[in-house]
Amino acid sequence: MGKLGVSIYPERSNFEADKAYLDLAHQYGFKRVFTSLLEIDGDKEGVLAAFKKVVDYANQLGMEVMVDINPGLFTQLNISYDDLSFFHEMGADGVRLDIGFTGAEEARMTRNPYGIKIEINMSQGTTYVDSIMDYSPDTEKLLGSHNFYPHRYTGLEFNHYLKCTEKFKGYNLNTMAFVNSQAATFGPWPTQDGLCTLEDHRSLEIATQVKHYKLLGGIDDVTIANAYASEEELKAMSQAFNASMPEIKVVPRETISENERKCLFEATHSYRGDKSAYMLRSTMTRITYKDLEFPAHDTDKIQRGDVIIDNEGYGQYKGETQIALREMENDGRVNVVGRIADDELFLLDFLKPWSSFKLIESKK
């Protein structure tokens, strides 16, 4: 099972606020902390003291702290990649290299005496990770994480993201991606339009972003990039991440019957394996609820994303639950009882035949 993470930016906040946020995240099972040392004004000791206080607190909670740095900082703070004692003294569990070296250095860094993990950028789509693997790194200490993007429309394109992730999973390395909190107000830089890895995620609810990553596979850990997510978001993210199966939001029609509500929201659905291009079929409801009545109503034309139930007119199919994947004519034997929430409609493309899922009620 992967880990959930939050991000803190001590230079843009204060210890009390960071501490309260870490407490809340810990309460909902978050295990990772991402923080950033990309730009520093001040001396090495001052930097170490400010960061160390909040890193120590995260460590007390049993959380793993990764510090994002760039090569310029190695020079500025007089740190050698052969000597990671600075990060050990800070209490960091790992270092994320915002921009890498040549491969040999990263491999050597994974064999540091402090057990500090080295996390590298997954988003570039180059042979960077291949170069590191050529030098036999300790793969237990080598992690990958995608970038996050504060500028709207600059986040990763979906197919590029898939290609980059596949490369890292090919080496069996631990992977991480970022999601965007809609409640958070800041990140490591003054300007931001939210912070996410995939551009498609920028405006989505946090739980929906997590469901997408889980359906895709290939990502072990998921971290909220901006600070501070709301308690509601932390809770929703934890539930989505730890759910045994995807839970897809459905907006029911006001005319839905109690029997139809049972089909939608009480059943565990299974995507029938002999898939149709027109509909996703969950056939067990017609067996479980075969003695219930399903009179015809709302038999209008069917659109993609509609949740439909066969009515009495369909004989042995009465009570079967389906989700429309394409527009279909309705001859009066199918009740349109709701539709997949607009922001989760795209998840239909990632549900796989034979997989189980639940439908949960949504108001919008």
Ranges of each domain in the chain:
4-243, 248-361
Taking the chain, what is the end-to-end CA distance rounded to the nearest angstrom?
A: 31
Percent of the chain with pLDDT over 90: 85
For the segment 10-32, what is each residue's pLDDT rounded down to a tens digit? 888 999 999 999 999 999 999 99
| pLDDT band, very low/low/confident/very high, at 290 (cuts 50, 70, 90) | very high
168: burial class by Cβ within 10 Å (0-12, 13-18, 19+)?
buried
Is 38's pLDDT higher than 70?
no
pLDDT at 79 (0 to 100):
85
What is the value of pTM for the model shown?
Answer: 0.95
Is 364's pLDDT higher than 80?
no
Greater model confidence, 197 or 1: 197
- When the pLDDT of each residue in the chain is averaged and rounded to a whole number, the result is 95
Tell me the mean pLDDT in the region 194-206.
Answer: 98
Is 49's pLDDT higher than 70?
yes
DSSP E strands in 3-141: the ranges are: 4-8, 32-37, 64-69, 94-97, 117-121
CATH superfamily of 248-361: Cyclophilin-like (2.40.100.10)
Is 43's pLDDT higher than 70?
no
Domain spanning 4-243, CATH class: alpha beta
Q: Is the dihedral of CA 198, 203, 206, 208 positive or negative?
A: negative
| pLDDT band, very low/low/confident/very high, at 39 (cuts 50, 70, 90) | low
CA distances from 129 to 97, 143, 277 (A): 12, 10, 39
Question: Treating both helix axes as pointing N-terminal to C-terminal, what angle do 44-60 and 15-27 enclose, rounded to 10 degrees?
Answer: 30
pLDDT at 47 (0 to 100):
67
Integer-rounded Cα radius of gyration of the chain: 24
